[in-house]
Amino acid sequence: MTSRFIDWIWHIRGSLTLAPEQSSDDVFARLHPLFRQAGTSHERTNDTLTFRKKDQAAQDKMSVFDGGVLQIEKGAAGSVLHYHLTSRALLLCFLAPLLFLGFAQLTIAMGKLEKPSTEAVKGSDASKKDAKKEADVPMNAIDKALGAPEPEKKDPDKAKDQDKKHSPTSAYVFAAIFAVLYAVGRILEGRLVKTLFKKSLLGS
């Protein structure tokens, strides 16, 4: 029950109504080229075809799938082709946003751990004010004449860079990208494979 509840994430199911009087042999003969690809193995038992893919090529029109079952059911209203396909690529796209969200939370936690205490912040503010006063004091003419280097000024951008180091924004962006990729892929692949089966069954 639990498996059935979550397997929609990487399982694609569908069905196609077959032409009247179209035999199982004719259906599987028309679909056969789809399973005659490199890295694809298949076996047929009566009205059921089972296939598996390993190291499939990118040119394979069904490369996103790793295996599946196609079954023809005959009824009073006609025959129907049911298919059940699995895809690890869809599963990885679904898990990727969760991974990046985890990175974001880890980044936030690390930022909190490294955040200085209130006393340290106050001391830092006081030192910055003192440094600013020292920087505002003009350099002595004698020092200038002797070629002494000017005192280094504190870089106010360093604190900002430290904040960026612990910013979870990048992780959130990648999580959003993969979430969109999964949503689009889950819908698109279901439609593409159905169209592919339709064209194959209508071909000569």
85 and 10 housed in the same domain: yes
Please give the residue range of the domain that contains residue 163.
Answer: 92-151+159-178
103 and 61 housed in the same domain: no
78 and 97 housed in the same domain: no
Q: Residue 22's pLDDT is what?
A: 85
This prediction has a pTM of 0.71
Please state, in angstroms and rounded to a whole number, the distance separating the CA atoms of residues 51 and 70. 9
Residue by residue, DSSP assigns 32-93 as GGGG-STTEEEEEETTEEEEEESS--TT-TTTT--EEEEEEEEETTEEEEEEEEE-HHHHHH
Please state, in angstroms and rounded to a whole number, the distance separating the CA atoms of residues 35 and 39. 9
Is residue 132 domain-resident?
yes
105 and 64 housed in the same domain: no
Which regions in the chain score pLDDT beneath 50? 1, 118-119
83 and 102 housed in the same domain: no
CATH number of the domain residue 52 falls in: 3.30.310
Q: Residue 57's pLDDT is what?
A: 87
Number of structural domains found in the chain: 2
Is residue 183 domain-resident?
no
User: Is-contact 62 34, C-beta < 8 A?
Assistant: yes
85 and 119 housed in the same domain: no
Residue 192 structure tokens: 């593409």
Q: How far does CA 94 lie from the centroid of its chain?
A: 6
